[in-house]
A and B are shown apart, each in its own frame.
Chain A
Amino acid sequence: MLEIEIDGKKLTVNQGSTVMDAAHAAGTYIPHFCYHKKLSIAANCRMCLVEVEKAPKPLPACATPVTDGMKVYTASPLAKKAQAGVMEFLLINHPLDCPICDQGGECQLQDLAVGYGNSASRYQEEKRVVVGKDMGPLVSAEEMSRCIHCTRCVRFTEEIGGFQEIGMANRSEFSEIMPFLGKTVDSEISGNVIDLCPVGALTSKPFRYSTRAWELSRRKSVSPHDGLGANLIVQVKQNEVMRVLPLENEAINECWLSDRDRFAYEGLNSAERLQKPMIKFDGKWHETDWQTALEYVVKGLNGVSADHGKDAIGFLLSPHSTTEELYLAQKLARAFGVNNVDAALRRSDTRVAKQQQGALWLGSSIVELAASKSILVVGATQRSEQPLLASRLRQSVKKGSQLNVIHVADDELFTSLNAKLIVAPQQLVNALAQVLKAVVTAKAGETAIDLAAANVSAEAQAIADSLCAADSASIVLGNVAQNHPAFSELLALAQEIARLTGARFGIAAAAANTVGADVAGANPVRGAFGQNVTAGLSAAEMLAAPRKAYVLLNNEVEADSYNGQQAVAAMKQAATVIALTAYKGAGLLDYADVLLPIAPFSETAGSFINMEGKLQSFNGVVRPLGETRPAWKVLRVLGNMLSLNGFEQNSCEEVRAELLALGDIAAQLNNGQSVLAANVAAGNGELVRVGDVPLYHADPICRRADSLQQTAAAAVPQLQLNPADAERLGLQDGQAVTVAQGAAEVSLQLRTDAALAQGAARVAAAHPATVALGGLFEPIQIKRG
């Protein structure tokens, strides 16, 4: 510890701190532009110059290490003169047209110019003009004359994004910030450069010039997309969501947002929003009032129940719905006598629900996971599943953690891996079994799982060594693992490895409320907080053995199910499909009978439980659009109309209180598996589809965010094959091919990619071009042309 003084205030700081860190600790503000706590130190803006006793010249606070006994003066005449000098330099070439600048009102340069600058301009030469750049559909770089060369954006793409996509070209005053010639900025977390840019050079393309910062009100919320649970500030004007910014939460999203979290709000204002209840009769859709629509629903449910029994009804609930909605939905179903309730829509392994002992979760906090010395990620397309988690693990590697991967493709993670095992989907179980086998040997342990068919490869050995040697280790199963038909096996194997190595294990939840769904009882076998219920069918079972009636909450089965083809067929044969939805999507219009407009997360109170089991509540930020109503209210009224008990809640908070009174969330989190049987035999050589979910097709909201849909990540999926497989099939890179599953054929372009495991045929899910296909991890046929 070092003793220092800042502006006469004494404090002790850690060895290795900078003057900026110390000032922060002392609550003293030092003006700065290039410094950012999450980025490397550049010390190039020189705004943070301060006086240090005995130093002959002012020193940059951001880069100057503290020494014992140091006396710092942040506002002495010398410091102030230096700061004013720098401010003058920053302004000489900066356009002084704040009133028409998009950053006006939230510009660090504007703010600091007032406090630290001189008023009159002594610069009478012509100002520099810098031409705008095209960074793609999300980030606007039109106004590059405003850039002050702090290089935060450059450092962000390189250090946090993992791959430098923005550079500073040229030198001297001709330096220009730009992406590579003709390239856009494609990082899945690119939008953060907008927040980082202290001036109006990089701004949000969708938001640009739509409104002025001071006309917006700021409301807190939680991202409804992936399972990380990023904290949001949603900015609103005249009852419309205009922009989404990060709300800093060091334990979850730090100060970042993924582009999905940031730009998906455009989907909230989509023209496809359903604004009035609608009923289909005579083969046509008719808008109607709520009363009529709800009566129609009640009649439909009672009718099917009378004719075919309660078991003929299925409830398919979205893991993107709030905990309160899911709780009421399953309560309604069960009170009505329907046991077929599930929110694990893309899960194909029907055994999991029957074996689980609690809500599946990450197995640790996000911070603990990131701090693990050895991490094994199994079956995850990390950068599209939870972009910020992928970025966080990248930082872990920088800090010395070993990252290991078992996956179906050697996807670019922009970080170095300790070891990786890239295998076809049907080999995933065998791959993880190899690791277990190596662990059993290393630890001289025992396992009930028969590992005879597992031959330990060098990579598996390296992974096992890494897990065994680390004093903290974690195993995480990603979305691919969770949707895989052998999810049970993967869980059981992970559990055994964890038991023998002392590692934690769990799942990286795909959706904002995957964990909340299990806690709230949106599960065919477990009620809210694990209450005993009569077991019903899982989502996959309800679709494999079609029901007569379906109630859909907040999902579009063609895109949100494991097998879109089968799901749509099931809908079409049903007597009635009742959809509570925010959108009138083409699919729903085709197969549903009733559409009830429900509020997306921005228009209702609610809560999500993120992957680490943290419940985060939020309020609506705008009033529901048109005649939209919060789903909890709709469910409550339906409960009343169906004459069920327990539907008297007057607010979302009451629903939440009722649920939370049932138990303790932490006690529910449990990845334990009772059954440890696992067939670890390596699969055969047929081509198996890798149906992972594209970044911007994961949920109904982001599928309708126009700007996200213009990104490269949202392009029409290609068939990706290992070049060896393509050659074997006589196919060439770039050619058109027809892929078939079951009755459906779709034509796609082939892209050979050595990153893909042999035997894996990547055809992404959830995209309009591929929803007609079948199971996400099932055999797939490929034909020429």
Chain B
Amino acid sequence: MAIFVKGVIFEGVDTTAPDCWHIDAYMARGGYQALKKILDNKMPQEDVIAEVKNSGLRGRGGAGFPTGLKWSFMPRSFPGDKYVVCNTDEGEPGTFKDRDILLYNPHALIEGMIIAGYAMGCKAGYNYIHGEIFEAYELFEAALDEARKAGFLGQNILGTDFSFDLFAHHGYGAYICGEETALLESLEGKKGQPRFKPPFPASFGLYGKPTTINNTESFASVPFIIRDGGQKFLEAGKPNNGGTKLFSISGHVNRPGNYEIPLGTPFATLLEMAGGMKDGKKLKAVIPGGSSAPVLPGEVMMELTMDYDSIAKAGSMLGSGAVIVMNEDVCMVKALERLAYFYHEESCGQCTPCREGTGWLYKVIHRIANGEGREGDLELLESVGNNMAGRTICALADAAVFPVRSFTKHFRHEFEHLIEHKKSLVDHKWC
């Protein structure tokens, strides 16, 4: 459930009101004004892109790439079709913000995608929605119908010569489809196996046509940026880290949920907002950016602010903004074992190092967790990880290795203890 603090996307959204997602409610909050502004003023495409650039918006899907810059890569005078694609395949463990956007404020995304379509000269868009959130998919389809009926989608939008249509595509259970080129393959009706880049989607994307892919939150931020100006968005955060950001807090806190707060807010503040540590237990570790981000010890986290640069400096990443909080009862070997299982299970299977390496990592960690670890296993994990990271088509292999490296670095003694004494240093309790 989203909890608004000083936000962009959830400003004015009463998530407890059952009809907050409807177009009327959205328009009452100032929705579709940005689109009208563009169309009424016949705003040049470059100006829309420039405004997004000014906002300092960085991709909210994990990599943090500047959105305006990405939009400017789309070939201007391409003769054929071009596409804009939204990534709502939110499957990164710990991340659950995009689902709330679909459930409570879908029109922000729709408006953002229409504006993107306008700015990049696309005539159609697709929103790829995570398999497990079928109800959100159905609701989004209903929202699309509303937008179509209101004349914001389809031919000659609001009587102008701009036409754009938008469709929802439902995934069916594959984490890898969050990777943008796997998502495109999946959208084309194939297995979600990432494509080698180059060529990049901007030149060879959906159906081989120029395509821009952004995260749900990135698109949903756009109406605000256009309506209120990029500068205002930028100021809501801090330099190079413009805007507010949705943080999904999960784990051992009292009030897990989504918090939309300015980038640069101290972690301690965020933890407090989330009601602090559950049962008053001690904070042990935090994964600050989704399961693929390196874990950080609790005390390190308490010193950090929640923005791209600060977290990167500490050796992790802001990623998708999923903050997984763990208390003193968690055996870090067990925690890593569960994550390793996930990557093993979710590898798409095409690259040798990832297909074979994720399985190998899991089996060794599993062994250690079960008290069957051997001397040299930590070196083996490191070496196998080194042979995987940076050797594959997409970053899933890296994502599988980061937790292994960081868990064994920051909590090495727990692993060593388990290998040596065949039992955990911690009296492990999941919750």
Contact = CB atoms under 8 A, between A and B. Distances in A.
A173 B356 contact: yes
A171 B348 contact: yes
Interface stretch (B20-28, B74-82, B230-238, B386-394): B386-394
Contact count band on A: 35 or more
Contact count band on B: 20 to 34
A686 B196 CA distance: 57
B167 interface: no
Residue of A148, A168, A171 most packed against chain B (CB within 10 A): A171
B174 interface: yes
A44 B351 CA distance: 4
Contacts of A168: 191, 349
Given A60-B196, A82-B391, A45 B352 contact: yes
B345 interface: yes
B380 interface: yes
Given A65-B198, A92-B360, A122-B380, A46 B392 contact: yes
Contacts of B357: 89
Interface in A31-52: 41-47, 49
A90 interface: yes
B201 to A, nearest CB: 16
Contact of A172 (B196, B358, B380, B393): B358
Contacts of A175: 349-350, 355
Contacts of B345: 172
B191 A173 contact: no
Interface string A172-190: 1111000000000000000
Contact of A86 (B349, B350, B352): B352
Interface in B362-383: 363-364, 380, 383
A692 B351 CA distance: 46
A44 B347 CA distance: 13
A35 to B, nearest CB: 12
Nearest to A170: B349
A118 to B, nearest CB: 11
Contact of A43 (B176, B196, B358, B363): B196
A173 B359 contact: yes
A49 B355 contact: no
A171 B393 contact: no
B350 A151 contact: yes
Contacts of A82: 387, 391
A82 B357 CA distance: 13
A173 B355 contact: yes
Interface string A158-178: 000000000010111111000
B169 to A, nearest CB: 19
A586 to B, nearest CB: 51
Given A41-B196, A173-B344, A173-B358, A149 B353 contact: no
A47 to B, nearest CB: 7
Interface in A13-67: 41-47, 49, 56-58, 60, 63, 65
B347 A172 contact: yes
B328 interface: no
Nearest to A42: B350
A56 B390 contact: yes
Nearest to A128: B359
B353 A89 contact: yes
B360 A171 contact: no
A49 B389 CA distance: 13
A123 interface: yes
Contacts of B176: 171
Contacts of B360: 89, 92, 123, 125
A393 to B, nearest CB: 23
A89 B346 CA distance: 18
Contacts of B351: 44-46
A93 B391 contact: no
Interface in A63-80: 63, 65
A175 B355 CA distance: 9
Interface string A568-585: 000000000000000000
B362 to A, nearest CB: 10
A85 interface: yes
22 contacts: A42-B350, A44-B350, A44-B351, A46-B351, A49-B391, A60-B196, A85-B387, A89-B352, A89-B353, A90-B356, A92-B356, A123-B360, A125-B360, A171-B176, A171-B347, A171-B348, A171-B349, A172-B349, A173-B356, A174-B349, A175-B350, A175-B355
Interface of B: 174, 176, 191, 196, 198, 344-353, 355-360, 363-364, 380, 383, 386-387, 390-393
Interface of A: 41-47, 49, 56-58, 60, 63, 65, 82, 85-86, 88-90, 92-93, 122-123, 125, 148-149, 151, 168, 170-175
Pairs A-B, 3 closest by C-beta atoms: A85-B387, A57-B390, A175-B349
